Amino acid sequence: MKKIFGLMLTACMVLSMTACGSQSASTTAPAETKAQATAGTTAATTATAEPREAELNIMMSFPQYMDQWETYCKQFEDKMLAEENIKVKVNLEMPSSDQYESVLQARLSSGDAPDLYTLHSNNIATYYKAGNLTDLSGEALAGKIYDNVKATVTQDGKLLAVPIESQAWGVLYNKDIFKECGLAVPETLDELKNVCAVLTEKGYTPFMLAYQEQWVPQLMTALTLGGKVSGEIPDWVDRMYKDEGSYAEVKDIFGPIDLIMQNGTDRAMETGSEAGSADFANGKAAMYVQGTWASGTIMTTNPEMNLGVFALPINNNKADTLVNLSTSTTLAVYPESKEMDLALKFANYVLDDKDSSALFEACSFNPLASCHTFTPSSWVADASAYVAAGRSYQDLVLPQAVTDEQGKLLQEYYVKSITQDEFISQMDAVFKEANKQA
């Protein structure tokens, strides 16, 4: 009795294991039968052929635009079925932006790469070297992208990714509060100090601080370094890469950083970026160092919000007061994709003449190709005005380790566990280490 029972148990276990193993075999079976079926029908009638079934895996790093992209993928599925007679199933994955890179790297190195994936334009060089990008120069989309944007996604004369988010950004501010206090947009650090003083006097908190996620405080170094370096010491980044520069040269960046930290909301370390955006939308503070990508959350929280953008002043040199113009998110095609043809079709569809405009407007991305014909939102127009006046800089390309470290150290600087000098020496060391590893 016991023996039989034991035998049955082992049988169960073995069965359950083999069941898992055979799954892959069973999924391919219907495809084969379908192929046989289509073969049979094509002999009779070629016109009403069964649609070919295909899957396209796409991974993107902006969960805040999940709805818009899901709709767009649906449109793509319909379009493919109608035009190419292919029944595509688009699997859209959106890991949170904090973990996106780790997930992507794990997938790439384990041979489970998505057919299309987004990456930051700063990483194009690395991914290109590793052989993870497809040359898109020959595609129809290449002719549509504006030249200054195209330059940010091109290497060795090859167009390596489709730009998606190319934006000008600086400090977000609440136009209604500024109007009520009779304030103008600050151009110098002294003017910014004055703005803070007036706001405090009128009972408003000047800055929204949301430092729980390290990338948010990091935005301050992105803006201040960008302005300072582009305005005064344009060779700083090059010298840093040659171990010949130092953060001591850009010590000015602490001017606005200190001002922001002193005039900010409480409990910064307990506030995440989304919560910060929502609080800012509800008028908890008048300004928020955050990119225009946060506008989605802000406008859903408070559709009445009068949102504006100004350039963060670094010091009293107006030449340093610039907005950041950068291509951040781009879409790349994996060269070993099983559905290469479809992947390229999707890449082209992102800049489709008919549908792309609506998508870019819905996500409030900046227009970046000739197919974009919408009028941008007020805050995008604000930032674009700086760009049009020549007051913008191209995002500095720093090693990822340096960017990460800046976020970490700013958190520590905020909780006062390090000083300015420690910040500087630590950043110099990290930059050198990153150079050594590269």
Partner 1 sequence: MKKKTKQNISMLLFTLPALIVYAVFKLIPAISGIYYSMTDWNGLGKGFDMVGLDNFKEILSDKYYWQSILFTLKYVIVMIIVANLIALLLAATIESRQRAKGLFRTIFFMPNMISMIIGGYMWMFIFTKVLYYMADNWGMTFFDKSWIGDPKYAFIAIIIVASWGSVGYLMIFYMAAFQGVPMNLKEAASLDGANSWQTFRHVVLPLIQNAVTICIFWTLNAGFQVFDVVYALTGGGPGRATQTAAINIYEEAFRGNVRYGYATAKSTVLFVIVMLFTAIQLRLMKRKEQEL
Q: Is 312 in the site for partner 1 (CB under 8 A)?
A: no
Please answer whether residues 402 and 160 qualify as being in contact, where contact means their C-beta atoms are separated by less than 8 angstroms.
no
Residue 255 φ then ψ, to 5°: -55, -65
Region of 220-228, 349-357, 371-379, 396-404 interacting with partner 1 (CB under 8 A): 396-404
Q: Verify binding: residue 14, partner 1, rule CB under 8 A.
A: yes
Identify whether the C-beta of residue 427 lies closer than 8 Å to the C-beta of residue 420.
no
Is there binding between residue 271 and partner 1 (CB under 8 A)? yes
Residues 6+ apart with CB under 8 A from 413: 257, 261, 419, 420, 423
User: Per-residue string for binding with partner 1, 41-80, x by CB under 8 A?
Assistant: ----------------------------------------
CB of 165 within 8 A of CB of 372? no
Q: Which is nearer to partner 1, 268 or 281 (CB)?
A: 268
Does position 270 bind partner 1 by CB under 8 A? Answer: yes
Smallest distance from the beta carbon of 254 to partner 1, in angstroms? 17
Q: Where are the beta strands (DSSP E) in 96-226?
A: 116-120, 154-155, 158-159, 162-163, 166-169, 171-174, 207-208
Give the residue, chosen from 126, 301, 348, 425, that forms a contact with partner 1 under the rule CB under 8 A.
Answer: 126
Stretch that binds partner 1, among 123-131, 138-146, 168-176, 378-386 (CB under 8 A): 123-131
Stretch that binds partner 1, among 237-245, 326-334, 383-391, 407-415 (CB under 8 A): 407-415
Interface with partner 1 (CB under 8 A), residue total 44
411 binds partner 1 (CB under 8 A): yes
Q: Tell me whether residue 6 or residue 143 sits nearer to partner 1 (CB atom).
A: 6
For residues 305 and 278, the answer to whether their CB atoms sit within 8 Å is: no
Q: Which is nearer to partner 1, 111 or 390 (CB)?
A: 111
- The span from the CA of 170 to the CA of 343, in Å, is 34
Give the interface segment with partner 1, choosing from 271-279, 299-307, 344-352, 385-393 (CB under 8 A).
271-279
HSE-CB for 387 with a 13 A CA cutoff: 20
Distance CA 437, CA 336 (A): 27
Q: Write down the least CB distance from residue 324 to partner 1, Å.
A: 22
| Cβ neighbours around 414 below 10 Å, total | 18
Q: Which is nearer to partner 1, 82 or 415 (CB)?
A: 415
Q: Is residue 414 at the binding interface for partner 1, with CB under 8 A as the rule?
A: yes
Residue 417 contacts partner 1 per CB under 8 A? yes
The nearest distance, CB 101 to partner 1, in angstroms, is 7
Should residue 285 be labelled a site residue for partner 1 when binding is judged by CB under 8 A? Answer: no
From the list 4, 44, 47, 131, which residue makes contact with partner 1 (rule: CB under 8 A)? 131
Per-position b or e across 246-280, b if 16+ CB within 10 A of its CB? bbeebebbbbbbebbbebbbeebeebebeebbbbb
Collect all residues with Cβ–Cβ distance below 8 Å to 287 and sequence separation of at least 6.
171, 172, 173, 174, 206, 207, 208
Cα–Cα distance for residue pair 306/174, rounded to 1 Å = 6
Among 77, 101, 135, 232, binds partner 1 (CB under 8 A): 101
Number of other residues whose CB lies within 10 A of the CB of residue 140: 13
**Which range touches partner 1 (CB under 8 A), out of 126-134, 241-249, 344-352, 368-376?**
126-134
**222: nearest Cα among 191, 250, 192, 243:** 250
Q: Which stretch binds partner 1 (CB under 8 A): 5-13, 81-89, 294-302, 347-355?
A: 5-13
